[in-house]
Amino acid sequence: MSPASANATGQALPHDSATKHVAGTAIYADDIAEPRGLLHVYIAMSDHPRARLTRVDLSAVRMAPGVAWVGCADDVPGVNDTGPVVMDEPMFAATERDGGEVHHAGQALFAVAADSLKAARAAAGRAAIDYAPEAPILTIDDAMREGSFVQPPYRMARGDVDMTLASAPHRLTGRIEVGGQEQFYLEGQIAVAWPGEDADMRVVSSNQHPSECQLIVARVLGVPAHAVTVEVRRLGGGFGGKETQSNLMAACAALAAKATGRPAKCRLDRDQDMILTGKRHDFVIEYDVGFDGDGRIAGIRFTQMARCGWSLDLSSAICDRAMFHADNCYYLPTAEIISHRCRTNTVSNTAFRGFGGPQGMVGIERVIDHIAHRLGRDPLDVRRVNYYEPPDGPGERAVTPYHMRVEDCVIGEITEDLANSSEYTARRAAIARWNAENPWIKRGIALTPVKFGISFTTTHLNQAGALVHIYQDGSVQLNHGGIEMGQGLHTKIIQIAAEELSISLDRVRITATQTDKVPNTSATAASSGSDLNGMAVRAACAELKGRLVRFLCETENVIEADIVFLPDRVQVGAREMSFSDLAKAAYLGRVPLSATGFYATPKISWDRGAARGRPFYYFAYGAAVTEVAVDTLTGESRMTRVDILHDVGRSLNPAVDLGQIEGGFIQGAGWLMMEELWWNAAGHLKTHAPSTYKIPTAWDRPEQMNIRLWEKGMNRELTIKRSKAVGEPPLMLAISAHHAISHAISSTGTSYPALNAPATPEAVLLALGRAQA
């Protein structure tokens, strides 16, 4: 029996699919029994990063054994575009009419549907395609030199930066390069489409944004949205990589299904997945900062340059978020942040956990570290003097560069708690002694904070819907717009619903997310899943509960105060009835037992033109201390201990939240320490599988990892149960690992090491050279 329902939230319950996960019985898109006549779709990719197609002849592809359908740009009945925000992404680059053009190596040219994937792939190889290659723009430096951008530069500013820079007692400039990151969800991109009667199309997609997938499939097919239903039960990981990137596969499967009348599956293998779909943006960040003798920043100018790839995708909002996090936890009295969104002939970069925030934060943390190095201070002291003031402060150091007042800054308290529990000061001293005595292995330690803004900065996306049914037997089925991708969203939602209805958890079942159950949903992204959908589910449950109360008042002749919802039963005056009996009675009493719920985040607004407003409902905070060891002969590094204190408000599920924190941290450490995307001079990604692209393994997880939820945590805003979003913020705790490496390197010389990311052995060795120069 599941735990008492009155306080279902706050319990450390296992993931609601955990037993299915371990038994291998959880069904992912590719596990659905393959229907009769299923076609397999293969997407042919461009060999060149930038070229005109001077000849496209697919006749041999069509003639190949097993082929049922071949589609290029000419074969799209609707619009040949899968762009999510603006239509700048041709679904297929190739057209047999006049060739077409390609903008990155790996771009989709055309698709083939055949009886087997092997046959489809073999057939695609028969295409006659001639390219007239042009010189590609591959890097940020190339794009800046050529003036190649996906949108105009954007600026956020507050105060007179030139003046404060000129008058500051100290000033320094610098530059950091931050690499991109592949999401590396374990389940690759996949969609299966079933054609129905009339124009109907049902699509199962591994997708974080089914409503957008629905619109894009409808656009490509040239049918109204009402003809397309997109269904998602669970993802084998998303991390942002399935927010927009899954739509192409869904569109290809649907197109093949529509053209042939047969079901069709489009499943990418790992190499295609990594070549064809977008990743975290790599950034180059330049800074010019003025500060006083304590390291207190007077003014700062950031120039952020992001590699967006060949199309816009979500780059506008991602680059904005990098700017929103250029302050992290620090009050910047005057600041100017300029963002360049570089168009390159590489894959179109996209959402990845943190959505630009991590890159922006890496920029300011670098500045703090650089200032501390210049002044010969512990970077933690420089952090402390620059923190935003706490909620009860005088309001002098509380406004962000985008003119939002920070009302909930608890980072000071978190920092002191963590510095104590991790014995930061004593260990830093011990490390100094170690480094003095040991010439080859150097140690380093760093504490870095996180303040992460919660809400989609595209304000209208902050809405959610839910649909809750109570059946006659007292069981409850619910549906909401959120996607379960491993983050435990459904588990939390079940807890919320059980608590709201005062029923046990096993009465509540969440079905696959479907666009015909809850329409017009937002992506499960921006850490918003439980904030938005939890509130919508609560609203639906409250509506149902209200109906039940009114029904009891009328039929039992009591007033509302006489009705008490107890676990799985209701006390009505002197008597009790089970929830099941109540459901049955309400049904017989002709009470509607199905309700929708809706939620729109209050208080937020954003004027992008003026670059001011309140884009975030609240901020999530946390801090981490990481200790590392570095081999100065080889550049290898390892984390030896991690301590984390993170604020999730009132936790909806401490086990799930701790899982998000640990997983986010290790993922962030992978980004900053070992995961390297590498393109050759011809514009081909050469790290496109786990053999060449290395994410952390079990051995990389330090044995000593002490993670705590901040006990005092409580959201000041009226979020669901006063919780805070937890999906993305912990990733940025791993910036502490990068800084710990920099600290270890710094012990070998007097110059600033200016360590780039990722801190591969090679990057570390280069930084050692700079430190000793």
Partner 1 sequence: MGAIEFLLNGEEVALTGVSPTTTLLNWLRYDRGLTGTKEGCAEGDCGACTVAMRAPGGDWLPTCACILLIGMAHGREVRTVEALPSDEGLHPIQRAMADGHGTQCGFCTPGFVMSLWVAAQSGALGGREDVCDALSGNLCRCTGYGPIIDAALSVGHTTSPDLSRTISDPEPLTYRHSEQSFWGPTSVDALADLIAEHPEATILSGATDIGLWVTKHDFDPLEIIYTGRVEELARIERRGGALHFGAGATYRDAVDALATIHPGISPLIRRIGGAQVRSYGTIGGNIANGSPIGDMPPALIAAGATLHLRRGAERRSLPLEDFFLGYGKQDRSPGEFVEMVEVPVPTVPSTLACYKIAKRYDQDISSVLGCFAVETEGGIVTSARIAFGGMAGVPKRAVSAEASLTGAPWTRATVEQAMAALAEDLSPLSDHRASADYRLTIARNLLLKYFLETTLAAPITDLPRNPVAVV
* 762 forms part of the interface with partner 1 (CB under 8 A): yes
Tell me whether residue 414 or residue 431 sits nearer to partner 1 (CB atom): 431
For residue 446, the minimal CB distance to partner 1 (Å) is: 14
* 34 forms part of the interface with partner 1 (CB under 8 A): yes
Site for partner 1 in 155-184 (CB under 8 A): 183-184
* 1 forms part of the interface with partner 1 (CB under 8 A): no
Say what the alpha-carbon torsion angle 716, 495, 26, 350 is, to the nearest 10 degrees.
Answer: -20
CA–CA distance, 765 with 87 (Å, rounded to integer): 44
Give me the 216-255 binding string for partner 1, x by CB under 8 A, dash otherwise.
------------------xxxxxx----------------
Tell me whether residue 475 or residue 692 sits nearer to partner 1 (CB atom): 692
Site for partner 1 in 526-585 (CB under 8 A): none
CA–CA distance, 655 with 618 (Å, rounded to integer): 23
Q: How far is CA 540 from CA 74, 501, 551, 729, in A?
A: 46, 10, 17, 29
Give me the 439-458 binding string for partner 1, x by CB under 8 A, dash otherwise.
-xx-x---------------
Site for partner 1 in 609-638 (CB under 8 A): 627, 629-631, 633-638
Say what the alpha-carbon torsion angle 350, 351, 357, 359 is, to the nearest 10 degrees.
Answer: -40
Q: Which two tokens stand for residue 398?
A: 């509380």
* 30 forms part of the interface with partner 1 (CB under 8 A): yes
Tell me whether residue 235 or residue 549 sits nearer to partner 1 (CB atom): 235
* 436 forms part of the interface with partner 1 (CB under 8 A): no
Closest CA to 341 of 325, 323, 357: 323
* Residue of 53, 122, 228, 464 that binds partner 1 (CB under 8 A): 122
Q: In this structure, are residues 303 and 338 in contact, taking their beta carbons and an 8 Å threshold? A: yes
CA–CA distance, 121 with 523 (Å, rounded to integer): 32
For residue 695, the minimal CB distance to partner 1 (Å) is: 6
Site for partner 1 in 266-295 (CB under 8 A): 269-271
**Total residue count of the chain as it appears in this document:** 773
For residue 725, the minimal CB distance to partner 1 (Å) is: 16
CA–CA distance, 468 with 508 (Å, rounded to integer): 10
Say what the alpha-carbon torsion angle 480, 482, 486, 487 is, to the nearest 10 degrees.
Answer: -110
Q: Which residue is catalytic, options 182, 499, 500, 728?
A: 728
CA–CA distance, 31 with 477 (Å, rounded to integer): 23
* Residue of 28, 131, 471, 551 that binds partner 1 (CB under 8 A): 28
* 118 forms part of the interface with partner 1 (CB under 8 A): yes
* Residue of 75, 96, 187, 568 that binds partner 1 (CB under 8 A): 187
Site for partner 1 in 351-410 (CB under 8 A): none
Tell me the window of 156-164, 512-520, 701-709, 749-757 that interacts with partner 1 (CB under 8 A).
701-709
* 488 forms part of the interface with partner 1 (CB under 8 A): yes
Sheet holding 441-454, edge to edge: 441-454, 618-631, 637-646, 704-709
Q: What is the DSSP string of 35-86?
A: PTT-EEEEEEE-SSSSEEEEEEE-HHHHHSTTEEEEE-GGG-SS-SB--SSS
- Helices 654-673 and 357-375, axial angle in degrees (round to 10): 70
Q: In this structure, are residues 461 and 522 in contact, taking their beta carbons and an 8 Å threshold? A: yes
* Residue of 662, 708, 722, 749 that binds partner 1 (CB under 8 A): 662
Annotation marks residue 728 as catalytic: yes
* Residue of 385, 558, 695, 714 that binds partner 1 (CB under 8 A): 695
Tell me whether residue 242 or residue 538 sits nearer to partner 1 (CB atom): 242
Tell me the window of 53-61, 152-160, 446-454, 480-488 that interacts with partner 1 (CB under 8 A).
480-488
Q: Which active-site residues does the annotation give? A: 728
